[in-house]
Chain A
Amino acid sequence: MKHREIAIIGGGPAGLAAALRAANLGARVLLIDRSDYLGGQLIKQTHRFFGSKEQRASERGIDIARELAAGVTANEKIQVMTEATALGYYEDGVLLVEHHNKITAVKPDRLIIATGGAEKNLMFPNNDLPGIYGAGAVQTLVNVFGVKPGKKVLMVGAGNIGVIVSYQLLQAGVEVAAIIEAAPRIGAYWVHAAKVVRAGVPIYTRHTIKRAYGEQEVSGATIVQLDENLQPVPGTEKDIDADVICLSVGLTPLTELLWQAGCQMIFVPELGGNVPLRNEFLETSVPGIYVAGDVAGIEEASAAMMEGALAGLNAAASLGYTSESLASDRKNVLAQLAGLRSGPVGEKIRKGLAQAML
């Protein structure tokens, strides 16, 4: 059994930020990620991020991932375990980790869960045809492995992910036939939307996919307009040829470990599904277990980094580590998070978080 001061599960933006902040306060950290690299979804984000200077706005996710990962790897207080899967958390506070076909038991004094989110699916006839992907898979193919998923894509969902992945597909030389969105408004930042529209991709709001068609693989989809009550309008069906249908219909927190640990959970649609109740220190109802990033509620990567920083600071501080600037660092992160969430696009998050506080 290994004893560790802080174990962090997930090496994405939240986990990396948490590790750095906790280690900088002096805590010894074990960072666990199931991939063979650090950075999580950041390593696919070739676009510039929004936000403010402190949150590294205007920098690209790929560059932020590289820098955070390098900082973590170089920090002697942080032990990194990649290709390691956290299998379970037990009543006695023991975490089981599978690493290179070996099971290791870790007993951390504090646990930060930063497991992120998973993509939601959409039900429609023939949605199991080859060629129908989640947006995350398409982004991995294109931006990590340099593989085109097909020639012509129908994107379902006009949130930030759907619109950004469409843009990145265009950059890779893949045609995007259209982006359809069931809601009456584009969910993505409008500047992102404007960028793909001027590059020739139409966005159809109030439209959904009625069915996909194709024999061995997908060759297209019938889309249909929706009325105010989200009901299909008869006679508005239209066929779109595509050899890829890309689903970008939202994310949901990856909370299995939190359930196992007995954290109090609550279903909050605004945050993407079941999320842990947490206090202002990002500590859950189980003392010593903290959350940060999408697992605590689906948001942007910039918010995940800020939450990670906060959880890292708080977990280390609860072990007695401190610095002269601890109070002001904490205040600064909180102020930045509040700023990110303060505008009209943050309304949903604010509403969601208000329901998830302990």
Chain B
Amino acid sequence: MLAQNGIPTPADLAGVLPPADRLAQGPVAIAECYQNIPCDPCYHSCKQGAIREFIDINERPQVDFEKCNGCGTCMSRCPGLAIFVVDATYSDSEALVKIPYEFLPLPEAGETVTAINRAGQAVGEAKVIRVQNTRVQDRTAIVWLAVPKELMMEVRHFNVKGVR
């Protein structure tokens, strides 16, 4: 459980995941934010108006999956690095998972990295498709990983090979 070990349960996840039919339409943001804390930059960052306005700053983000186009702008603004974008339509066998990443070295496109789950365990390999790291990301790079589709809701981190 999150409060005991920092790992969300399947029930926690079920509350924030987009429905299957929306996932089948392309990239969409998932806000893995489970605690009522005073924080609202995701709302202010979304140009699509896809994150509902906070009446109380302690509310949790509510993503309108129909309005969200998966652009990922919110990912680099979330202080908790808790927003991910998943594109289940990337290929027949692979999905794209976009991960906020603040470690060095940054991987390069084309590189194979070790895919890591929310518990910090290696679950397979992933291919780096793109690394967004401009002023817009402001030192929170966004790394696009192609992962086997069955791992798209598992992979939330990665290790660059040869780097501890």
Q: Which residues of A contact B (CB under 8 A)?
A: 47-53, 57-58, 60, 170-171, 173, 175, 184-186, 189-205, 302, 339-346
Contact = CB atoms under 8 A, between A and B. Distances in A.
B6 A53 contact: no
Contacts of B104: 171
B41 A53 contact: yes
B156 A198 contact: yes
SS class, residues of chain A in contact with chain B: mixed
Interface of B: 2-8, 32-41, 44-45, 56-58, 77-82, 102-104, 116-120, 139-140, 156-157, 164
Contacts of B44: 53
Contacts of A192: 80
Contacts of A173: 164
Contacts of A199: 103, 116, 120, 157
Contacts of B157: 198-199
Contacts of B102: 171
B84 to A, nearest CB: 11
Given A189-B35, A192-B80, A342-B58, 17 more contacts: A48-B41, A50-B80, A52-B39, A53-B44, A58-B45, A175-B164, A186-B3, A186-B6, A190-B2, A191-B79, A194-B6, A194-B8, A197-B6, A197-B120, A199-B116, A201-B120, A339-B56
B35 A170 contact: no
B154 to A, nearest CB: 11
Given A57-B40, A197-B6, A190 B35 contact: yes
Nearest to B32: A194
Closest 10 CB pairs of A and B: A191-B80, A343-B58, A193-B6, A58-B41, A48-B79, A197-B6, A50-B39, A200-B120, A198-B157, A191-B82
Nearest to B81: A195
